[in-house]
Structure 1
Amino acid sequence: MKKLTMASRLKKSVSAAIVLMMLTPFSAFAADANATSSSADQVKEILDMLQQNHVSAPSADNLSTAAIKGMVDSLKDPYTVYFTKNEWQQFTDSLEQNYVGIGVRVGEDKDGILIVQVFGGSSAEAAGIKRGDIITKVEGAATAGKKLDDVISTILGTAGTEVNLTIKRGDSSFDVKTTRKQVQIPVVTSHMFANGVGYINVSSFSAEADELFASNLDTLKQQGLKTLLIDLRNNPGGLLDSALNISKLFIKEGVLIHTKDRDNVDDPVLIQGGATQPFPVVMLVDEYSASASEVLTGALQDYNHVKVVGTKTFGKGSVQSVYPLANGGALKVTIEEYLTPNMRKVNKVGLTPDIESQGEVPQLITALRTAGLTSFTLEQNRRNTSLNSYELNDSFNIVSQNGRTYIPSRVLAALVGADVSWNEADKSVVVAAGDISAAFSTAESGDSLNQEGTSFIDVSKFADTFKQLKWSQDGGVLKLSVQ
């Protein structure tokens, strides 16, 4: 399932949205007019000539924008960016996760576009659209077989305009007319699992992320929090202040990051007036955790306040300052590289987790087990996936072949707390947990198979060896449990 937010492709996207920003007042961007007057005059001369003489009759605005972007592009720095007024508004909206849409998170399905999540207060909710519904038509055009991004673009539009959808729910279909409007997607969500294991997901370090994090943390404490899991997967970053304020909830005093400017001067960002927490913290990251996500992870890791689970992070270790421009646009400029409190390099390197785990569902299970959860019930049907009754936006493939059911080896291994590896000599998947080790061959027995780089194991054969796993498949619902 492709996890995308309607009106957004921030998640699983390494783009200009990956930023660690400090906002700078307009006055700080004043240039030395005398030093640049000669160059500026030459640029203006060429712009005037092109505007007055080129056969295409280019506008002054278009030429100026192209000239500015050409200068920025010459730096070959993907994080130094010029924004026009409209582009800056779109960028800030994406950072704050404000979008014009119908208010759903969607995924792919063979019959069309699957509704993975409906946001509260959205026009989709008002129209009666539910999780698990499938959009089969947009404005009368079938969605099956179309690229997800292409369908999303047809649903998006101007606030106040209407979009006509055909919805499939079970065996019935019906038409829905809903109005596009501004949608505020929550950047911080939380959930309490059993055994006092609390979960907080931060999808962006927006201006309000720190306050929302603190509020969600207080709620979990009131529910008997004993261990906290912070999920920063697919979080491309955001504002430095938000990361700093969240770090203050766990670190009393210290350095958040060391910085290195163009003159190699270190001006560290300090944590002051912070606090500590009486419970262990586990952090979940992946290759799309970048910038401010890496700042917070690196600090908590260096101060030994967290156990990090997942994959190596993106490696965006630079700081940008945003300079507002008189035309309503903005210039985002890389001003520093940063290092963790222990002077670890992040830029183009990333941060290494303490516990390696691949795959979205296995990562969550592994992180929850690290946090102290011991019982798991994973259910999946064609449209929904839940873990201990908590609905996930992620899913995993199930392969049915020759009367056998195959589950990704990493999902099964995570459920029983096992390690998984590939034995090239025997062409088998090896799963080991404690004193138990088993090899599932892809050869004649067919106990495992490989599809597009993913290994799958016959769940029945797996359960014969790892007896703590119970499984059933009834009415299209697969249930895997470990008690």
Structure 2
Amino acid sequence: MVITRSGLVLGATAVTLTTIAVTSLGIHSQGQALFKESPKELVDEVWQIIQRQYVDGTFNQVDWQAVRKKYLNKSYGNKQEAYKSIREMLKLLDDPYTRFMDPEEFKNMQVDTSGELTGIGIQIGLDEKTKKLTVISPIEDTPAAKAGVLAKDIITKINGKSTEGMDTNQAVSLIRGEAGTKVKLTVLRGKEQKEFVIARAKIEIHPVKFSQQKTPVGNVGYIRLNQFSANAGKEMQNAIKDLEKKQVAGYILDLRGNPGGLLFSSVEIARMWMNKGTIVSTKDRKGEPEREVASGKALTDKPLVVLVDKGSASASEILSGAFQDNKRAIIVGSQTFGKGLVQSVRPLDDGSGMAVTIAKYFTPNGRDINKHGIDPDVKAELTDKQRQELWLRGRDTLGTMKDIQFVKAVEVLGKQIAATGTTRAEK
């Protein structure tokens, strides 16, 4: 998840499903000149950032002072040698989400979420338990989704090259490329190995799609949120207002396959549905909590069901957790991805950058969902085959009575509507 108006990395570039705060985007010419004279300055800059901000004050049981001494005692002939040492230094923390980005990688990190992107349409990260390169989610209606790539697929090879020991930045450089060119992904799904040859394309992301659906329980507002981008809040607001005019009886908010995005977007959207209560809290290394709360300006109080699956991560889990703990919605589907770490992304003086884990986020009731995720109130599991068929048919099936999980959501929503006596509009 990303806290930055410069956006979430999409398409062929990687997202680690953590909250990212860009604290500054300026490049300082004085620092740049200093770096040219001494690559050691950059090594020390990275060490200092970890020293001040890293979420674990023990640095995952690493003697961080000794690390500084070791790497500052080395001689560096050029910046590439410094980059290598920085990566070695950060690897000691055993945290795949605290990482270094060279200038090109850092530029990719700042891709605008609202723009047109070139890639295959997957979001990837390192699984924190296995350290395997894992598909967080294929983005709807993209080459990867149409090819049949699924959330939780483990990428074992890219164009025949093993991903063992590969970080997300290295994977990105192999996956991305010009529109029209192809990339071959070898993935492990359970015990089955699959190969996908996927043509890269320009991808335009529309965060919100909505419709009025006639169902056995009345007219229902169906809103599908693909990602928490900078303009997702405005599009969500428009969707709710439009559906309210149609006097829908209740809502189904679909977060399946939504890998996250901007924290401020998830908070903004939560406030459209919640009149009161805590939305999310974060705790840094000192254990000091910060809270985001509802503002009393909800756009509707009608019954709400939220659909989630194992591709729902980060900001999706914040929103689902807020609704669940505040009893604002019933969560239907399968267990979510489980990413509850907050990162700060910092520019460095030579145009490179780094991401450092600075905090954890918690649901309103204080649940730490990292590595576990959100458990749905009502389970509606799909087999891999059912999931693949659902996502391949995509726009024609999602949010219709041909969608098994949607059908379950309608059933659950019907009980809520009956309990509240909400009017069933039949327009």
How much has 1:243 moved relative to structure 2? 0.6
> Corresponding residue for 1:324?
347
Deviations 1:333-360 (A, max 9, x none): 2111122112222122321111101118
Tell me the residue number matched to 2:289. 266
1:233 is the counterpart of 2:256: yes
Distance in 1, matches of 2:355 and 2:349, equals 14
Q: CA deviation at 1:185?
A: 1.8
Pair 1:190-2:210 in alignment: yes
Q: Per the alignment, in what secondary structure is the counterpart of residue 74 of structure 2?
A: helix
Change (3 A) 1:326 1:346: same
Return the alpha-carbon distance in structure 1 between the equivalents of residues 346 and 315 of structure 2. Answer: 19
Q: Secondary structure at the match of 1:67?
A: helix
Per the normalisation by structure 2, the TM-score is: 0.59
Matches within 5 A, 1:359-370: 359=382
1:22 has 2:34 as partner: no
Quote the residue 2:108 is aligned against: 90
CA shift in 2, pair 1:42/1:75, >3 Å = closer
- What is the aligned partner in structure 1 of residue 275 from structure 2? 252
Greater strand share, structure number: 1
Distance 1:188 1:329, change over 3 A: farther
Distance 1:163 1:313, change over 3 A: closer
- Relative contact order higher in (CA < 8 Å, ≥ 6 apart): 2
2:386 is the counterpart of 1:392? no
Correspondence 1:46 to 2:35: no
**Cα offset for 1:40?**
6.3
Structure 1 residue 118 displacement after superposition: 6.6
Q: Aligned in 2, Cα 1:311/1:95: closer, same or farther, shift over 3 Å?
A: farther
Corresponding residue of 1:81: 99
Q: Amino acid of the residue matched to residue 392 of structure 1?
A: T
Q: Retained in 1: the 8 A contact 2:67–2:89?
A: no
Q: Secondary structure at the match of 1:189?
A: strand
Q: CA deviation at 1:232?
A: 1.1
Which residue in the other structure is 1:302 paired with?
Answer: 325
Distance 1:225 1:305, change over 3 A: same
Relative distance call for 1:93 and 1:343 in structure 2 (3 A) is same
Does the CA-based 8 Å contact 2:343-2:358 persist in structure 1?
yes
Give 1 or 2: higher helix fraction: 2
Counterpart AA for 1:199: Y
Whether the 8 Å CA contact 1:197–1:225 is kept in 2: the answer is yes
Alignment size in residue pairs? 313
The answer as to 2:67 corresponding to 1:68 is: no
Alignment partners' CA distance in 1, 2:302 and 2:291: 28
Give distance in 2, aligned partners of 1:327 and 1:280. 52
Partner of 1:350: 373
Cα distance in 1 for partners of 2:383, 2:12 equals 18
* 3-state SS of 2:371 partner: coil
Q: Which residue identity is paired with 2:303? A: P
Contact 1:19–1:236 (CA under 8 A) maintained in structure 2:
no
Give the conservation status (yes or no) of the 8 Å contact 1:250–1:275.
Answer: yes
Distance 1:199 1:262, change over 3 A: same
Partner-residue secondary structure (3-state), 2:209: strand
Quick one: which amino acid aligns to residue 263 of structure 1?
K
Distance, in Å, in 1 between the alignment partners of 2:294 and 2:249 is 25
Q: 1:202 aligns with which of 181, 202, 225?
A: 225
Q: Name which of 3, 7, 11 aligns with 1:8.
A: 11
Unpaired segments of 5 or more residues in structure 1? 1-6, 52-59, 105-115, 125-130, 135-146, 165-178, 365-379, 396-406, 419-483
CA distance in 2, matches of 1:117, 1:251: 27
Query: SS at 1:337's partner residue?
Result: strand
1:100 alignment partner AA: T
| Amino acid across the alignment from 1:267 | E
- TM-score w.r.t. the length of structure 1 is 0.53
1:280 maps onto 2:303 in alignment: yes
- How far has the Cα of 1:206 moved from its partner? 1.8
Alignment of 1:443-454 (within 5 A): none
Match of 1:340 among 356, 360, 363: 363
Displacement, 1:218? 2.4
2:177 aligned residue (157, 165, 185)? 157
Cα deviation for residue 256 of structure 1 reads 1.7
SS at match of 1:326: coil
2 CA distance for matches of 1:117 and 1:262?
Answer: 36
Higher mean alpha-carbon deviation, 189-198 vs 92-101, is at: 92-101
- Counterpart CA distance in 2 for 1:189 and 1:96 is 15
Could you say which structure has the larger radius of gyration? 1
Distance 1:100 1:333, change over 3 A: same
Query: 1:247 Cα deviation (Å)?
Result: 0.8
Give the distance between the partners of 1:103 and 1:318, measured in 2 at CA. Answer: 23
Q: Cα distance 1:280–1:394, how it changes in 2: closer, same or farther (>3 A)?
A: closer
Deviations 1:116-135 (A, max 9, x none): 9878xxxx9xxxxxx99x9x
Which letter maps to 2:341?
S
Deviation at 1:291, TM superposition (A): 1.3
Are the structure 2 counterparts of residues 327 and 181 from structure 1 closer, same or farther at C-alpha, using a change threshold of 3 Å? farther
Aligned to 1:220, the other structure's residue is in SS state helix
2:290 alignment partner, SS class: coil
Structure 1 pair 42–361 and aligned structure 2 pair: CA distance change class (3 A): closer
Q: What secondary structure is seen at the aligned counterpart in 2 of 1:267?
A: strand
Amino acid at match of 1:86: E
Return the offset for 1:274.
Answer: 3.2
> What amino acid maps onto 2:325 in structure 1?
D
Distance change >3 Å, CA 91–CA 100, structure 1 → 2: same
| Letter matched to residue 257 of structure 2 | N
Q: How does 1:449-464 map to 2 (within 5 A)?
A: none
Q: How far off is 1:231 after superposition? A: 1.2
AA matched with 1:21? I
**RMSD of aligned residue pairs (Cα, Å):** 4.8
SS at match of 1:66: helix
What displacement does 1:363 show? 9.6
